[in-house]
């Protein structure tokens, strides 16, 4: 994810779409070190102390500004001009960018991670002359400045070489920032935007590891710690590799192709309904709770229950005797697919509560038999 993607990419530890909203408002909405850094850089720029503050944060956060990447750029240009990597076809290509300043079009580095059918990953890092100024804040994070990109090609010339390769692959980005930066740079140089299909590894990660919601979120830094990945954040080449690794691990976790995972939709369940049971019903005395996706509406399920004498509750408790789970949900082998009610019921059962967990089909049979 690019520099501004990192700044704007978290709000209460969750990823948010990057918009063109005012940078100060966006920074104040973030909850990471960028907040502290931006405030001090803003003041330092006014007082002409930007270099002094840059060195302060380099030491404090172990950053690496002014990396010697000039020689590396020449080798990359040779790779781009050859028929090696760019002539091959891969399962997918992960893409990451860094920017010189708050403008998304100011791409100063492109990182590519090409994933082969056997899962092997090869990477490519390309320095770009953004033909724009570098903010001290951005340089402090990714280590790229005007000196670093001296002699590098501009975005339009690099894209001319990369376009055929990128447009015949599915591109993976970690947050929508990278696609937005490509589109903004294309507009800047009056170029057609890429005709590639883009997918978001943040969404893929959310489906594979839902337990991270509210526990660090699904940004690269959080996933790095949770999955034990090793990479240097804010280097486009390394971040691209990380996005590729996240995608491969998500496939391994879910047993699904990345394109399938990216189309998963979070289930939305209807509002639960509470009803008293018919005191003359054959199942009077039972208390039921529903969870998961049923084939019937919640109102129908609650009505059937109440007519048979079953009281329907909204929440799980020790008083509940029946938890009815949608058949599709109860059959899921993935423990993370269980709802909070389902997990609560299992916990209560372990502690001695007399609760039966049944599927919708068994519930309907129970009603019919009584």
The rounded distance, in Å, linking the Cα atoms of 77 and 214 is 42
Q: How many other C-beta atoms lie within 10 A of the C-beta of residue 246?
A: 26
Taking only the tens place, the pLDDT of each residue in 193-216 is 999 999 999 999 988 998 888 777
Spatial contact of 317 and 355, defined as CB atoms under 8 Å apart:
no
| Least reliable range by pLDDT among 35-39, 147-151, 210-214, 321-325 | 35-39
Greater confidence, 200 or 24?
Answer: 200
Question: The domain 287-369 is classified under which CATH number: 3.40.50.9100, 3.40.50.10190, 3.40.50.2300, 3.40.50.720?
Answer: 3.40.50.10190
Which spans in 30-97 are helix H?
33-47, 50-60, 70-81
SS3 203: helix
pLDDT value at residue 3 = 40
What residues are paired with 256 via a beta bridge?
Answer: none
User: Cα dist. 98→104, 130, 173, 239, 289 in Å?
Assistant: 9, 10, 13, 10, 50
Q: Going edge to edge, which strands form the sheet with 197-200?
A: 121-127, 107-115, 92-99, 170-173, 197-200
- Kindly report, as residue ranges, where domains of CATH 3.40.50.10190 are found in the chain: 287-369
Confidence label for 244 from pLDDT (cuts 50, 70 and 90): very high
pLDDT of residue 155: 95
Task: Identify whether the C-beta of residue 320 lies closer than 8 Å to the C-beta of residue 287.
Answer: yes
pLDDT at 185: 96
CATH of segment(s) 3-261:
3.30.420.10
Looking up tokens 């005395």 gives 285
CA 152 and chain centroid, separation: 31
The answer to whether residues 49 and 69 touch, using CB atoms and an 8 Å cutoff, is no
* Inter-residue contact 241 to 94 (CB < 8 Å): yes
Asked which of 5-9, 182-186, 342-346 is least confident by mean pLDDT, the reply is: 5-9
Choose the weakest-confidence range: 72-76, 139-143, 259-263, 325-329.
Answer: 72-76
pLDDT band with cut points at 50, 70 and 90 for residue 8: very low
Q: What pLDDT sits at residue 90?
A: 94
Provide CATH 3.30.420.10 ranges for the chain.
3-261
Beta strands in 128-279 (DSSP E): 170-173, 197-200
pTM: 0.56
Specify the pairing of strand 197-200 against strand 170-173. Answer: parallel
Question: What is the tally of helices (H) and strands (E) in the chain?
Answer: 16, 9
Yes or no: say if 31 and 114 are a contact pair by the CB < 8 Å rule. no
Report the distance separating Cα 273 and Cα 299, nearest Å: 7
Calculate the CA dihedral of residues 55, 57, 61, 62 and round it to 10 degrees.
-10
**Listed residue (77, 73, 64, 90) closest to 244, CA to CA:** 90
Mean pLDDT confidence for 90-112: 95
């Amino acid at each position: 994810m690019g520099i501004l993607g990192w700044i704007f990419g978290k709000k209460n530890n969750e990823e948010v779409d990057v918009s063109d909203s005012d940078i100060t408002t966006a920074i104040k909405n973030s909850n990471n070190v960028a907040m502290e850094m931006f405030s001090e850089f803003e003041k330092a720029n006014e007082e002409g102390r930007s270099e002094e503050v840059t060195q302060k944060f380099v030491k404090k956060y172990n950053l690496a500004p002014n990396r010697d990447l000039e020689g590396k750029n020449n080798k990359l240009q040779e790779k781009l001009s050859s028929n090696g990597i760019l002539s091959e076809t891969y399962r997918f290509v992960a893409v990451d960018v860094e920017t010189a300043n708050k403008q998304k079009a100011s791409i100063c580095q492109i990182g590519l991670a090409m994933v082969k059918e056997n899962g092997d990953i090869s990477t490519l890092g390309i320095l770009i002359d953004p033909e724009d100024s570098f903010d001290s804040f951005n340089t402090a994070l990714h280590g790229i400045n005007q000196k670093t990109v001296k002699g590098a090609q501009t975005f339009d010339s690099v894209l001319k070489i990369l376009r055929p390769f990128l447009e015949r692959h599915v591109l993976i980005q970690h947050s929508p920032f990278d696609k937005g930066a490509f589109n903004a740079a294309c507009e800047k140089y009056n170029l057609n935007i890429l005709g590639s299909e883009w997918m978001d590894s943040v969404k893929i990660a959310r489906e594979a590891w839902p337990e991270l919601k509210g526990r660090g979120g699904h940004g690269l830094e959080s996933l790095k710690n949770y999955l034990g990945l090793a990479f240097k954040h804010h280097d486009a080449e390394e971040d691209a590799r990380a996005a590729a690794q996240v995608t491969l691990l998500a496939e391994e976790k879910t047993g699904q192709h990345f394109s399938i995972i990216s189309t998963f939709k979070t289930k939305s369940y209807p509002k639960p309904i509470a009803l008293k049971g018919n005191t003359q019903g054959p199942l009077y005395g039972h208390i039921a709770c529903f969870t998961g996706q049923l084939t019937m509406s919640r109102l129908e399920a609650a009505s059937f229950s109440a007519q048979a004498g079953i009281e329907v509750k909204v929440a799980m408790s020790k008083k509940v005797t029946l938890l009815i789970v949608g058949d599709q949900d109860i059959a899921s082998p993935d423990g993370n697919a269980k709802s909070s009610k389902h997990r609560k019921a299992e916990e209560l059962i372990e502690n001695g509560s007399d609760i039966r967990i049944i599927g919708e089909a068994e519930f309907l049979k129970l009603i019919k038999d009584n």
